């Protein structure tokens, strides 16, 4: 029962975050905005349409959306919702989670290059660079959780409420902030990317999907929701672990953490220049290393 509830809650988080982002942007702009579930209606409409493929593409282009979606689904099944147990769990699944996200990224990159389009190849090169730069931050964040909790499985790391102490609280809050920053990069949001842009020269993730339509585009969008939900729940679990560690707190916390933060940033900031994106992402990796070092010193009871 707990496993089924965990999976259901993860799906609720996945479909709710985009709605919260849209409503937050509309509220800050003083507009009526889109309906909360408009993105779901759009995905349902695309799922009912067929797909058109260029004659220059191969089978790789056709299977890439399914690989991207499959990797996101399996990655999501590793994530517990606070005190609930996930469907899939084994020792070292934090590494498998990271490489599943990398697998989905590689599938889209290869598909973009398969089209023979210079624009999509440009977006693929940017996506590969940013993925390589953000992966150390993600792995160091997992290492920080493993160091404090003593496990390398998400289910074991968040198996129960940790004993409340100032050291754990500091590290968990910093780690949650780190995962939120990683979510901005992985989901292609401002200030790194802008999913609403239509200028190919500045697009990153969206330019790789220019040749997709119908059911393939729907799969890519749904995979993006699931990936964002997984990272958001990790941040929510890190915060909830320091206090009230229950699913009924972690679920709305995951939705609001990412939904509100992304909506506020997209309403108040412009996207970075492309030259500044690498500096921004490397800074996130440096922050992850600093959090790990602080956690290591706190665990040794060394006064800073």
Query: Of 45, 38, 49, which Cα lies nearest the Cα of 15?
Result: 38
Is 304 part of a structural domain of the chain?
no
Per-residue confidence of the chain (304 residues) as pLDDT tens digits? 789 999 999 999 999 999 999 999 999 999 988 899 999 999 999 999 988 898 889 999 999 999 999 999 999 999 999 889 999 999 999 999 999 999 999 999 999 999 988 889 999 999 999 999 999 999 999 999 998 888 899 998 887 555 557 878 888 899 999 999 999 999 999 899 988 877 767 788 888 998 999 999 999 999 999 999 999 999 999 998 887 788 899 999 999 999 999 999 999 998 888 889 999 999 999 999 999 999 888 888 755 4
Is 18 part of a structural domain of the chain?
yes
Structural domain that includes position 208: 2-299
Token readout for 169 is 């609280």
Q: Sort 32 into a burial class: Cβ within 10 Å, 0-12 / 13-18 / 19+.
A: exposed
**Torsion sign, CA atoms 244, 225, 187, 262:** negative
* CA dist., res. 11 & res. 216, Å (int): 20
Side-chain-side CA neighbours of residue 38 (13 Å) = 9
H helix runs in 30-117, sequence order: 38-47, 59-76, 93-114
Tell me: the pLDDT tens digits for 122-145? 999 999 999 999 999 999 999 999
Is 56 part of a structural domain of the chain?
yes
Site of tokens 């999907």: 209
* CA dist., res. 184 & res. 262, Å (int): 7
Number of CB atoms found within 10 A of residue 237's CB: 27
Q: In the chain, how many domains are there?
A: 1
């Amino acid at each position: 029962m707990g496993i089924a509830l965990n999976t259901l809650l993860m799906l609720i988080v996945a479909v709710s975050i985009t709605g919260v982002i849209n409503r937050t942007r509309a509220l800050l702009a003083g507009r009526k905005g889109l309906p909360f579930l408009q993105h779901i209606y759009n995905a349902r409409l695309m799922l009912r349409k067929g797909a058109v493929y260029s004659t220059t593409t191969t089978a790789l282009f056709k299977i890439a959306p399914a690989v991207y979606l499959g990797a996101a689904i399996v990655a999501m099944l590793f994530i517990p919702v606070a005190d609930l147990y996930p469907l899939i769990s084994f020792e070292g699944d934090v590494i498998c989670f990271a490489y599943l996200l990398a697998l989905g990224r590689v599938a889209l990159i290869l598909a973009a290059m398969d089209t023979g389009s210079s624009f999509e190849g440009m977006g693929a090169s940017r996506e590969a660079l940013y993925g390589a730069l953000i992966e150390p931050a993600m792995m160091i964040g997992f290492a920080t959780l493993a160091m404090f909790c003593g496990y390398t499985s998400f289910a074991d790391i968040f198996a129960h409420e940790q004993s409340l102490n100032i050291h754990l609280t500091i590290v968990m809050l910093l780690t949650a902030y780190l995962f939120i920053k990683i979510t901005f990069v992985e989901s292609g949001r401002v200030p790194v990317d802008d999913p609403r842009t239509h200028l190919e020269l500045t697009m990153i993730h969206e330019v790789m999907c220019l040749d997709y339509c119908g059911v393939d585009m729907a799969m890519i969008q749904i995979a993006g929701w699931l990936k964002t939900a997984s990272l958001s729940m990790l941040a929510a679990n890190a915060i909830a672990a320091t206090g009230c560690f229950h699913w009924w707190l972690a679920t709305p916390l995951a939705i609001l953490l990412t939904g509100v933060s992304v909506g506020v940033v997209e309403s108040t900031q412009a996207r970075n220049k492309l030259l500044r994106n690498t500096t921004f992402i490397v800074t996130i990796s440096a922050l992850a290393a600093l959090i790990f070092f602080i956690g290591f010193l706190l665990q040794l009871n060394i006064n800073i």
